Amino acid sequence: MNKNAFRQLSYGVYVVSTWDKGRATGCTANSVMQITSDPATIAVSINHDNYTNQCIRDTGRFAVSILGEHSNPGIIGAFGFKSGRDNNKFDEVKSEVRSYLPIVSDACAYLVCELIDKMETSTHTVFLGKVLDADVLKKDDPMTYAYYHNVIKGKSPKNAPTYIAEEQPVQQSTPAAKYACSVCGYVYEGEVPFEELPDDYVCPICGQPKSVFVKK
C-alpha cells in the first residue's frame, strides 16, 4: 500500500489548544473538519500520546488556531515536535485569550469549542466540539498540508495521522552536501552553504540550533 495516496486528501495545519491546570498548552493537528453548520460543530483528531489529548478531556473545551501560509513556520515546530508535559509551548509564540481559551495570535482565524462527544480509535481520539466563538484574525490563505510539505519543506510529527515512517529527505542530483535537522527532518536547501551559516542559525520548523543538523 502506498501511504502517499493519503496525502492527496485535503488537510490544513492547525494548533489545537486548551488549558492544563491554568497553563496554556496545545499541539499541531491536520485533521480538523466541520461536521454541521447549525449548530456549528467541528471534529478534531488528536493522538492518544499527545498531552493535549488528556487536557481536552479534563477541561471539556478546546480552541483551533487556523494557520495561514504567512504564519511563522516556527509555530509548527513549537507545537508539533515538543511535548506539553515538559514544555510551556505558548512561551515561544505570541498568543492571546479568546472566549477563555488560549489561541495563537499569528493565525488567520480561530474557533473556540465546547467538547460534546468523542470517538476512540486505536491511536487517536476524535473530539466533537460545538463552536462557541469564531473570528478571522488576518487576511491570509489557510496553510494546506501540501503547502507545508512542498513549499515550507516541513516534515510530519510522529503523532500525526499522515506520518510516514519511511519518509526520507529528498535526494538532490547535486554534489553539494545536504544537512537535515535530526529533530524534525527539515532539510536545509538555502543558497548559502550550510557550513557558512552563522552559529545562531536555528531550524525554521522546530527552532533547534545548528548543532543538531546532520550531514546527509
20-36: per-residue pLDDT in tens?
999 999 999 989 999 99
**DSSP labels, 149-201:** HHTS-----TTSTT--TT--PPPPSSSS--EEETTT-PEE--SS-GGGS-TT-
- Read off the pLDDT of residues 163-215 as tens digits, 9 standing for 90 and up: 555 454 444 444 567 888 887 888 888 888 888 899 999 888 888 889 988 88
Q: Is residue 160 part of a domain?
A: no
pLDDT computed for residue 164 by the predictor? 53
pLDDT (0 to 100) of residue 8: 74
Q: Does one domain contain both 92 and 146?
A: yes
Domain membership of residue 164 (yes or no) is no
For the question of whether the overall pTM of this predicted structure is more than 0.75, the answer is: yes
Task: Report the candidate in 73, 71, 79, 77 with the shortest Cα–Cα distance to residue 17.
Answer: 79
Q: How many domains does the chain have?
A: 2
- Most distant pair of Cα atoms in the chain: their distance: 57
Same-domain pairing of 195 and 125: no
Pair (146, 190) in one structural domain: no
Establish if 173 belongs to a structural domain: no
What is the structure's pLDDT at 22?
Answer: 92
Report the CATH number at residue 81: 2.30.110.10
Q: Which long-range contacts (CB under 8 A, 24 or more apart) does 130-134 make?
A: 130/39, 130/40, 130/41, 131/39, 131/40, 131/41, 131/42, 132/99, 133/98, 133/99, 134/40, 134/109, 134/110
Q: Are residues 135 and 194 in the same domain?
A: no
Q: Are residues 73 and 110 in the same domain?
A: yes
189 φ, ψ to 5°?
Answer: -130, 30
Whether 142 and 104 share a structural domain: yes
In total, the chain counts a number of residues equal to 216
192 plus 143 within the same structural domain: no
pLDDT digits (tens, 9 = 90+) for 39-63: 999 999 999 999 999 999 999 999 9
Tell me, what's the pLDDT at 177? Answer: 76
Do residues 129 and 184 both lie within one domain?
no
Domain around 195: 179-215
Q: Establish if 72 belongs to a structural domain.
A: yes
pLDDT, tens digit (0-9, with 9 covering 90-100), for 79-122: 988 788 888 999 989 999 999 999 999 999 999 999 999 999 99
CATH number of the domain that residue 210 is part of? 2.20.28.10
User: What's at 52, amino acid-wise?
Assistant: T
Question: Residue for cell digits 478546546?
Answer: 62
